[in-house]
Structure formats: C-alpha cells, structure tokens
Structure 1
Amino acid sequence: MIEKKKLYKDVSRKKISGVLAGFSDYINGDVTLIRILFILLTIKFSYICIIGYIACAVVMPDKQDIFNDTNQY
C-alpha cells in the first residue's frame, strides 16, 4: 500500500514556526540542510521567501492536528 505523504508544520522541532522542519519530513531530508538552503535563498530572493514562509506558516496544519485526527477516512 502506498503511503500518502502530507505536508505539515512540525512544531516539536521548530525554530520559528516549524515550516522547514515539516518540509524536511516531507522530502525525507535533513532539517539543518533545509534551513541553510532557505537562508541562502532568502539572501538572494528575500521578499519572495519571507512572504512564502509566512503564507506556509499560516496555511499549513500542525503535525498533531493531522496525526491525532480521529475523523480520517
């Protein structure tokens, strides 16, 4: 059975809001490398990265909300 991946914020490993920690779980990558890459991209494309991060922090659900939901189909 294929497991469906879900994108979420991981607030247990957060530095700011947990967006990058959740993204690293989604792609099975190292959270430190994802954070360094995000910092480098923010230096180059500052407003786009910051606005995208804020949008993700508002829209993405928390990890606890997804995996503790008893109404899953």
Structure 2
Amino acid sequence: MEKKLYRSKKNRILFGVCGGLAEYFNVDPTLVRILFILLLLGSVGTAALLYLLLALVMPEEPEEGGEVSGEETQEE
C-alpha cells in the first residue's frame, strides 16, 4: 500500500498539518508540535509561513471507507 501525506482529521489543533506529518512518519504528534514550536521561535516567522503553505498544499485526509457512488438503495 502506498503511503500518502494528508492533513489529519483526528490529530488536529489548527489545520492538522503537524498531526498529518506525525501520522506519515509514525511518531507522536506532540513531538512534531514541540519541534515546530522550537522551529517557530528560532526562525523569525519562516516556520509560520511554512505551516500556512503546508495547510494550503496538503490535502485533507479522506473519509474512512471512501465515498459511496452510484445509485442509492432504499428499503421499503
């Protein structure tokens, strides 16, 4: 199965970028958030711009099970 990078729906605080990175690299989301905060403090705003760009570029995690397409069935 191919691994894809998505914004997380489960591990989200703002846009789910840090949660999505944590799920992709299989690490704790808290560690990713702490590393991002340290990067934010040391980068004079570059990390904030990077976060916003990732929030725009990364697709949101798809629903579990996928979307149902085709005709709907009705029970009588």
Name the TM-score, length of structure 1 as normaliser. 0.81
- From 28, 37, 44, give the equivalent of 2:42: 44
Note closer, same or farther for the CA distance 1:44–1:69 as it changes in structure 2 (3 Å cut). farther
- From 35, 49, 52, give the equivalent of 1:54: 52
Q: Distance in 2 between matches of 1:69 and 1:61?
A: 16
> How far did residue 68 of structure 1 move?
2.5
Q: Distance in 2 between matches of 1:61 and 1:52?
A: 15
- What residue identity is the alignment partner of 1:54? L
The structure with the greater share of residues assigned to helix is 1
Q: How many aligned residue pairs are there? A: 68
- Equivalent residue number for residue 72 of structure 2: none
* CA RMSD between the two structures: 2.0
- Equivalent residue number for residue 15 of structure 1: 13
Larger radius of gyration between Structure 1 and Structure 2: 2
Moved over 4 A (4+): none
- What residue identity is the alignment partner of 1:51? L
Note closer, same or farther for the CA distance 1:41–1:64 as it changes in structure 2 (3 Å cut). same
Q: Distance in 1 between matches of 2:67 and 2:33?
A: 28
